Amino acid sequence: MRRAAAVLLAGAAAATGCGGSPPAPRTATITVLAAASLTEAFDDLVPAAHARYSFAGSQQLVAQVTAGAPADVVATADAGSMAQLVQAGLVDPPRDFARNRLAIAVEPGNPRRVQGLADLARPDLKVVLADPSVPAGRYARQILDRAGVTVRPISLELDVKAVAAKVAAGEADAAIVYATDVGRAGSVAIPDDANVVATYPVAVVKATTHRAEAQAFVDRLLGPAGRAVLAARGFLAP
């Protein structure tokens, strides 16, 4: 929760602290809880000055909404997390807005010569995965099971951005993350027969006090603007 709180604070500071340079929108600023892998795409779509973002692992988003976090829109990286919110009657009917594949992130230039999934079992390679409690970790486990590869990770991080960060910082040699999270690091593709395609649903939170603005955000995400931004960040169409 500590990190989520920090993000909320940072988001609030960004929303209130920018000295007028983009004129403040007349509409209310909405709060969007979104899967960590959506960080860049959502910032592209609606700048943080006009929406408060809190990015975290999808399971954490479920916990936050369930605990009554003041949110207007929630977007998760898997159908299962969203289904928990639907079952609890906390959100409107969700709609899928993007899909994502997974990939192997390696250091720039791939100095350890990672060729594919089988290499992740190499004892000389430091591999980081997401914890199976978040979608990225569950997908990574499915992929490795399908490929019949046994990996001994050095850490199971609690959201996918933390996984990608370990490779970016040079503390790990390889990681399984979303294709959109590879970022500055290099990437090695995972073959289609082993890969998993993640579906991203979005929904308006029933307890929202800004229903019109929340619906407008969802519409923008599902419309041409959202498609373009998501495609530019490497997401697949729903």
Partner 1 sequence: MKRVAVPAALGVALMVLPLAGLLQHAPWSNLWTELASDQGLAALRLSLVCSLGALGVALVLGVPLAWVLARVPFPGRALVRALVTLPMVLPPVVGGVGLLGVFGRRGFLGRHFGSWPGFPLPFTTRGVVLAQAFVAMPFLVVAAEAGLRQLDARYEDAAATLGAGPWRRFRTVTLPLVAPSLAAGAALCWARALGEFGATITFAGSLPGRTRTLPTAIYADLQTRPDAAVALSVVLLGMSLAVLVALRGRWLGAR
Q: Shortest approach of partner 1 to residue 132 CB, angstroms?
A: 9
| Interface stretch with partner 1, choices 28-36, 85-93, 110-118, 128-136 (CB under 8 A) | 128-136
Structure tokens at 175: 């990681």
Q: Shortest approach of partner 1 to residue 211 CB, angstroms?
A: 27
Return the number of other C-beta atoms located less than 10 Å from residue 122's C-beta: 15
Residue 137 interacts with partner 1 (CB under 8 A)?
Answer: no
Q: Shortest approach of partner 1 to residue 154 CB, angstroms?
A: 4
Residue 84 interacts with partner 1 (CB under 8 A)?
Answer: no
Of 170 and 223, which has the nearer Cβ to partner 1? 170
Which residue in 2, 20, 87, 150 binds partner 1 (CB under 8 A)? 2
Residue 133 interacts with partner 1 (CB under 8 A)?
Answer: yes
Of 59 and 199, which has the nearer Cβ to partner 1? 59
Nearest to 164 by CA among 198, 187, 143, 144: 187
CA-CA distance, 224 to 228, in Å (whole number)? 6
Write the DSSP symbol of residue 196. Answer: -
**Length of the chain, please?**
238
Give the CA count within 13 Å in the CB-facing half-sphere of 124. 4
CA-CA distance, 76 to 225, in Å (whole number)? 19
- Which amino acid is residue 107, in one-letter code? E
Residue 101 interacts with partner 1 (CB under 8 A)?
Answer: no
Tell how strand 155-157 and strand 73-75 pair up.
Answer: unpaired
Alpha carbon distances (Å) from 127 to 139, 149, 195: 15, 13, 18
Q: Shortest approach of partner 1 to residue 48 CB, angstroms?
A: 21
Q: Shortest approach of partner 1 to residue 222 CB, angstroms?
A: 27
Touching partner 1, residues 141-170 (CB under 8 A): 153-158, 166, 169-170
Footprint of partner 1 (CB under 8 A):
1-2, 57, 59-60, 62-63, 126, 128, 131, 133-134, 153-158, 166, 169-172
